[in-house]
Structures are given as structure tokens and as C-alpha cells.
Amino acid sequence: MGDSLYLELADFEHMVHTGIYSEETGKPQPLRFTVRVRLKAPAFFHSDMPLDQSKNYMDLKFACSDALGDTHYKLIEAVADHVCETLFLQDRRVEEVRVKIVKLALSEANESIGITLTRQRK
């Protein structure tokens, strides 16, 4: 395996339609995303390298916000899956995506309740 480059978006909060309980449905709830993407890296980076040699890290933010649309996801696992698939479709160099989602509305004592999904390109 060659060199890898990791891009990361940490602690990004966005309102998403998700949940199965009556108090969750019909309105969005806050989720906190941390996304890590592994890319194939070029042999080296130099000072005047074109921007397209890396991935726009704003794509990670887009996958956790606008790309989710107004769809209602029963499970946050489905939200994470959609984020992974969006990032795989955006760029062939993406080899792996890890998405951590914390459901902020469930926290009672500042704990983090959520999931982490890691997907590799098939």
C-alpha cells in the first residue's frame, strides 16, 4: 500500500431529519459529525502543486449538510452511509471514509451518544 493523505472535518454540527420516536420525527435534530477521508497521495507535495492534487475539504462539510437534503433518516447509520457514498462518488481517489455521528439531543450529562461507521471503497 502506498502513501495516504487524510482529510478531516471535526465537530461539525448540522440539523438533520432523523429518528424513530414521536418526539424526533417531523423536525430536524442536531447531529455532530466528525469525518475522516483517506485518499491516495501523490509521491510528494511541492510548494506550487495544483490544488486538484488534493481534495477540497469543504466537500466533507457538504456531505454532512446540503447533500443530506430534507430526507428523513430513521437511523443515524443511514445518515453516515449517505455521507460515505457521497464522498466516494465525488472523488475516485477516496479509499476510505470514517463518519462519527453524535446525537446531541440525547445528551443528558454532556456525554456523547452516537455511532462510527467506516467504509472502504469496494
Give the start-to-end residue ranges of the domains of the chain.
Answer: 4-42+54-120
How confident is the model over 18-52, as pLDDT tens digits?
988 877 788 899 999 999 999 987 777 778 887 77
Which CATH code for domain 4-42+54-120? 3.30.1130.10
Q: For residue 69, what are the CA distances in angstroms to 12, 14, 42, 110, 112?
A: 16, 11, 33, 28, 24
> Does the predicted TM-score (pTM) go above 0.85?
yes
Give the separation between CA 94 and CA 34, rounded to whole angstroms: 16
Please tell me the predicted confidence (pLDDT) of residue 36. Answer: 97
